[in-house]
Every structure is written in C-alpha cells, then in structure tokens.
Structure 1
Amino acid sequence: MKIRFGYVSHAISLWDASPAKTLTFTRYEQMGVQEREEKLFEVTKQNLNHTLRMLYYNIAHELELYRFSSSIVPLATHPEVRWDFITPFESEWQEIGSIVQKKRLRVSFHPNQFTLFTSPKAKITENAVVDMTYHYQMFEAMGLEDVGLINIHIGGAYGDKQQALARFHENLTTLPAPIKQVMTLENDDKTYTAEETLSVCEKEGIPLVFDYHHHMANLCEAPLVDLLPRIFQTWSHKPFLPKIHISSPKSEKEFRSHADFVDPEFVMPFLKILKEFGQDVDFMIEAKAKDQAALRLVEDLSKLRGFKRVSGGAIEVK
C-alpha cells in the first residue's frame, strides 16, 4: 500500500509566498476606476506567481498533492466587482496547468464553508453556484478541468437534518453538470458524519473525501472498517486514488482545532485499518504547519517498522 502526501495552499517554508494576497471590497471602493483595475491585476499576478513558486517547491520535494488557494483572484465573486480574471493572465494560468500536467500532480480546490447547497434561502444556493463556477473557471484557464477536483461540505442542518438533505439534492440540480463532475464531498466535524455524507455521495455519484479528524470528532454508528470499502467505491468511476484528509487535534479541550503538526499516534489506528485493505490512497495534510507538517509526518512514519519512505512525499506500508 502506497500513501502520497500533500498540503494546503501555502508552503510556509518559502519566504513571502502566500498565494492568497487580498484586496478588500472596502479598500476597492475607495479607489478610482484605473487604480481598482491596477490593484486587481497586481494582486492576482502576485498570487499566480506565488502559486508557481509553490508548484516548483512541491516538485523539488516530491509532494505530488497540492490544494490551490481559493483566494488567488481577489473579489472574483463579489457581485459589484466581477471581472475578467482569465484573459489578462492567460499565460500564467496555462503555465500552471502545464506544470501540473507535465509532473502529474494531483490538484484541487476547497471553497469556504459558505459554499453550500442545504440552505432554505435561494440566494445562498445561487452564491454557491457562483463560487463553484469561479473555481471551475480557474481549472478551465489552467486546462485542468478534467483532472482537478472541487471539494465542499454538505452544509448546515437548519434544525431538521432530513429536510436539509432533501434540499441539498434539490439545490444541487442548479449546479451545471460539468462542475458537478469535478465535485467531491467531505464529512464534517459537527453536523454530517462520514456515514451520512457517504449516503449522499452514493446517491449523487460523487466521490467522498474522508476526513479522519472530523470523523473522530463526529463519530457515526457504523464502524470505520465497514465504511471504507463503500468510501473507496465512490472513487471507482474516477481516475484518481481515494483522497483522505489528515490532521490531529490541537488539544483535548480544542479537539476540533487542527494542531500545527500531525501526531502519528493519533492517525496510527486509522493506518492499521487502511493496511487491512491494501488500498493506495492520497493524504492531504491539513495541519497548520502545512508543507512542514506533511514532510515531518512522512519522516516520522518512515522511522516506524513496516513504513518505508519511497520518495520525498510518499510512504509504502507493508
């Protein structure tokens, strides 16, 4: 069984490399027309350049998984700003996509918690479609719309989980089919368990990104050993390995919060279950120390019997 590792958005080992530099709408409003355009261009170009730096860093460290920042383009979905963030940066988008394809990196996006399809308010659903479209447009600009994935949570329960789930299925019909094709769902740490999220995924034909930390914070009745074959099955129609989110609690008191690094002892019970199946998987590390946490976990595990480091960012489990 092989496990590849990756991290989220920002390699903190690099100096001043955030791919999520911002421009607030308040600041935008204070500017003149020309200054607004110049600032949008400046920040976006910087974020794209920093994204390139991240990709080269990942290649150097053999980290084959990477989650792009959702904030590459400032104010991209703001109703009073919406602007053409593709045409002026055609070469930058294409360069990013070319590197991803050439090095066969696995990439994704993860829109924020407000991108959901369970709300009783039509406007929330409309905004979710706008946000999912924005992420899909970035993949299109990179030429990665067939290989990139966009991961979201189911959303809130609004006092009636069954009604909310029914709304999810109904509201999801407003999402254009090509975007739904690259969508994944993740179990959360408070509302929808892995088992509940899995049922939705099976009904909609959507892969499940299993989050182990969330699962431990929000346990379901079914044993994980029974859920995993079904979780793996949701990926069977995709040319990807099952993806799993890995982090560990900041403390017992702040169990849901992510620690800076991943405690191998926290994930070891899960690794033992995974080993029973022998299924190759990809681990997206969601620890606060990002790239450093991913590389440290690879190193920590490689010191244990039965775990062999086979590249900078991959482990073989025997």
Structure 2
Amino acid sequence: MKIGYACIPLGVKYKTNRGFMIKNFTKERLYEAIQQNLLDLLKILEYNVSKGIYLFRISSDIIPFGGHKINTYDWDAEFKDILIKIGEYIKNNNIRVSMHPGQYTIINSPDNSIVENSIREIEYHTLFLDSLELDYTHKVVLHIGGVYKDKSSAMERFCKNFNLLSQSSKKRLVIENDEKNFNIDDVLDISNRISIPAVFDILHHSINPTQDNTETILKKCLETCKKEDGPMKLHYSDQSPTKQKGAHSDYVSIQNFLEFYKIASKFDCDIMLETKDKDISAIKCINTIFPVKKSVMYDEWAKYKYVVMEKNYALYKKCSSIINSETNMLEFYKTIDYALSLLLNEGAVKNTLQHVWGYFKDRANDKEFVKFHQLLSTKEYTKAKAFLKRLAEKYNEQYLLNSYYFIINT
C-alpha cells in the first residue's frame, strides 16, 4: 500500500504551479514556467521518497494552459529529456503518480463546446503521463459531471463521449464519486459499462451515501480494476469541523484514518489523502502504519513543538516528556492531533513568540528589536509571527524554517 498527497508539498518550497495570465501568454514565458515546474517536480519526488511517500498527484498546472487552444507548443518534444528523466525516477523508485483535471472538465455536458474543451483537457493530462513513459497504473482521475435534470441521460452521455477519447486516455481514466450528483453506485454502474476503474472517495460518500458499507463498496471497486490498472485507488479526507459540508479538514485525524485503514488494508489499494496540510498528514499516516526508528519521533517533535506550544504550554511540556518514554508513534500523533484541535490561547501564543524570538535576540538589529516588541505590545500576534518568519529567512535559521511553526495554519 502507498499513501500520498496532492500537488504541492508544504514541507519544502518546491512548486509546480507556476503560470501567468492568458493575456500575457508568450512562448518565452511558457518555456520558463514549464522548465521550472518540471525541475521542481523532480525535487518534490525526491523529497517524497526521503519521507517514504510513494504516491503523488501531479498538479494540472505543471504545463500552463496545457489543455487550452492557445498552447500549440510541442512541450513534450522540447522537454523530452527532463520528462524521461522524471519518468525514470518514478519507475526506479516504485512511485505511483496521477493527475486530476479540474471541475470544469465535464464530458457529459449537453453543450458540445464544453465536451470538446473537456476532451482536450483530458488528452493533455494523458499526454503528460505518456511523456513520462509510464504504464497505465498511473491514472487520470475524473468526476462524472452534471445531472442536467436527467441523471440517466447524463450517465449515458458520459459513456458515449468516453468513446471520443484516445485509446491512451481510455486506459488512463478512472472515475470518482462526488458529494452531490453521482454516488458510488452511479460510478460503479458507469465503470462497469465502459470497463474503467472506480475510485472511492470516503468524504464524498459520507455526504452522498449509498446503502452498502465501506467494505462492500471496496470489494465492488476492486472488481473494476484490471491487472494493468494497478492497485485500487482510494481518496481519504476528514470533514472540516468549521466549514461547509464537503470541505476538507486542515489535517488528517490519525484516529479517524486508522478506522478507515482497518478496512482498506484488507485490499490491494493505494490511499490518496486530500487534506490542507498535504505532505504533513501523509508523513503522519505513513509513520504510524509502517515501522520507523525512534529518531523519527524526535525529528517530528522538532517540527511540531512550537505549533503545540502556541496552543497549550502544559501540553507542550507533556509532549516533551512522552517522546523520551516508550510512547509509540500512534500515541504521539494522537497527542499532536489533540493539540491541533485546540483553539489558540493568547498567553500561549505570546509565550511562543517570545520563545522563538530567542533565536534572534543576539543577532537582530535595533530596528528589528523595536519592530518585534511593538507588534507584541499591540497584540498583533499574526504579524509578529510573520515578522519572525522573515527573520528566520534573513538569518537562515534552519531549525525554525524546517519546522511546521510557520506552515501549519492554527
């Protein structure tokens, strides 16, 4: 089993979504953006492997305007060498990648122009994976689309328009249940009609459910996967407690995830986490499920410590002591999750800011000293934290920059 995340890691500064407005489109801008995106994609994959992450969703923005008529550039030929290099790295490290076209890619639309644009978008995603010279275990994930007042006709139209795709796109495409229009039974129906795999999204299912339990659903989804499709793909996320139904949580609750994992682990599957903190939750789940050295807990605590401190100082002290005990990774992460669930405490926030200021007090100039303490005195804590981040970058304080203190939005 592989566990992964989507698109842009938080733990490193690499990104693959560089772009520009269509009115500023030039081949020079396009070339530069593609080159930087591809170089960073390779770095992200290397980072992922260092963290035990072997499942990754590549951003649709990797090639700006990849599925748009304006982009007639033969990027797959121009960047063939780096694309093949990335593909070789993926294959040599047993990584599985995927892509997920956006919500406006709708091949069951009654509007032919929308269908035409959507097919172009799918073909772009397929071309990108093909250009990496990857087999068909590497997928393009798609939702069914709209109902348009007639669900049965909408499903028929999806199946009909599926046949307009290239053979490679047909082999790469997998379809996912959504939270509004098409539940997993609908997806399985279409999947069986056109012989492509179904992807089960647990959060969407909780909002748009069917009668079957999770294990029964996974059995049915598994039956849609052929050997050449690779392991069944699953999407996991928690509901955000503070946002509308269907909104992904800021982080994966390890306790909730393990309840799902208990069922999923009975099957040959890979789990894509869809959560705001991206690689951070993926690392948490991987470290909990797979055996790791005790040093990993120390490394993780170094990243989380100031996040916990600004929530509750007593809990920070507790964590500091339990990592030196026989506590396992599960108990460690359960404590971290509890800390993340707490509301910010003004006293703890201020105390943490002062603690982190200690890294700079002997290096900061007079202007920086005055600025920081001014922000503290006026209780502008968010600005004070942002100021400390700038100081960490200026003075190259790697311990802080490698931590989650400036990354996790608490």
Structure 2 residue runs without a partner (length 5+): 297-410
Q: Give 1:5's aligned residue.
A: 3
Q: Which has the higher helix share?
A: 2
- The corresponding residue for 1:295 is 283
The answer as to whether partners of 1:21 and 1:71 remain within 8 angstroms in 2 is yes
| 2:330 equivalent in structure 1 | none
TM-score, normalization by structure 1: 0.87
- In structure 1, what is the equivalent of residue 19 of structure 2? 22
Whole-Å Cα distance in 1 between the matches of residues 215 and 137 of structure 2?
A: 29
- Aligned residue for 2:122, secondary structure, equals helix
State the partner residue of 2:320.
Answer: none
Structure with larger Rg: 2
Q: Secondary structure at the match of 2:79?
A: helix
Deviation for aligned residue 1:272: 3.8
- The structure-2 alpha-carbon separation of the partners of 1:180 and 1:272, relative to structure 1 and needing over 3 Å to count, comes to same
* Alpha-carbon distance in structure 2 between the residues aligned to 1:183 and 1:310: 35
**Equivalences for residues 211-290 of structure 1 within 5 A:** 211-251=201-241, 253-274=243-264, 278-290=266-278
Aligned partners of 2:194, 2:279: CA distance in 1, in Å? 33
Rounded to whole Å, the distance in 2 between the matches of 1:243 and 1:81 is 31
TM-score by length of 2: 0.68
Deviation for aligned residue 1:52: 0.7
State how far apart, in whole Å, the 1-side matches of 2:136 and 2:257 are.
31
1:286 partner amino acid = E
Q: Structure 1 residue 221: deviation in Å? A: 2.5
Displacement of 1:252 after TM fit? 6.0
> Does the 8 Å contact 2:248/2:274 carry over to 1?
yes
Structure 2 distance, partners of 1:118, 1:175, is 13
Q: Kindly report the root-mean-square deviation, in angstroms, between the aligned alpha carbons of the 2 structures.
A: 1.9
In 2: Cα distance, 1:260 partner to 1:57 partner: 21
SS in structure 1 opposite 2:235?
A: strand
Q: Structure 1 or 2: larger strand share?
A: 1
Tell whether 2:162 aligns with 1:164. Answer: no
In 2: Cα distance, 1:208 partner to 1:147 partner: 13
What is the CA distance between 1:298 and its match in structure 2? 3.0
Residues 155-187 of structure 1 show CA distances to partners (whole Å, capped at 9, x for unaligned) of 111111111111111111111122101110011
Deviation at 1:253?
4.9
- Structure 2 match to 1:309: 291
In structure 1, how many angstroms separate the alpha carbons of the residues matched to 2:86 and 2:273?
Answer: 22
What residue number does 2:116 align with?
Answer: 126
Identify the residue that residue 97 of structure 1 maps to in structure 2: 87
Moved over 6 A (4+): none
Letter in 2 for 1:8: A
Aligned twin of 1:87:
77
The question of whether the paired residues in 2 share the 8 Å contact of 1:111 and 1:132 is answered with yes
Question: How many residues get paired?
Answer: 294
Q: Which amino acid aligns with 2:263?
A: I
Is the partner of 1:293 in helix, strand or coil?
helix
Contact 1:5 1:283 in 2 (8 A): yes
1:216-257 deviations in Å (ceiling 9; x for gaps): 111113333332211111113435111111111111652310
Query: What are the Cα deviations for residues 257-316 of structure 1, in whole angstroms up to 9, with x where unaligned?
Result: 0112112343444334335xx2232111110111111112334xx2xxxx553799xxxx
Identity over the aligned pairs, expressed in percent? 29
2:397 maps to what in 1?
A: none
Unaligned residue ranges in structure 1 (runs of 5+): 29-35, 313-318
> Which SS does the other structure have where 1:174 is aligned?
coil
The equivalent residue for 1:33 is none
Alpha-carbon spacing, 1:24–1:253, altered in 2? closer, same or farther (3 Å): closer
Change (3 A) 1:269 1:309: same
- The secondary structure found in structure 1 opposite 2:196 is coil
SS in 1 for 2:62: coil
1:114 shift after superposition: 1.3
Counterpart AA for 1:64: Y
Instruction: Choose between structure 1 and 2 for higher RCO, CA contacts under 8 A separated by at least 6 residues.
Output: 1
Equivalent in the alignment of 1:32: none
- Name the CA distance, whole Å, in 2 between partners of 1:73 and 1:308: 35
SS in 1 for 2:228: coil
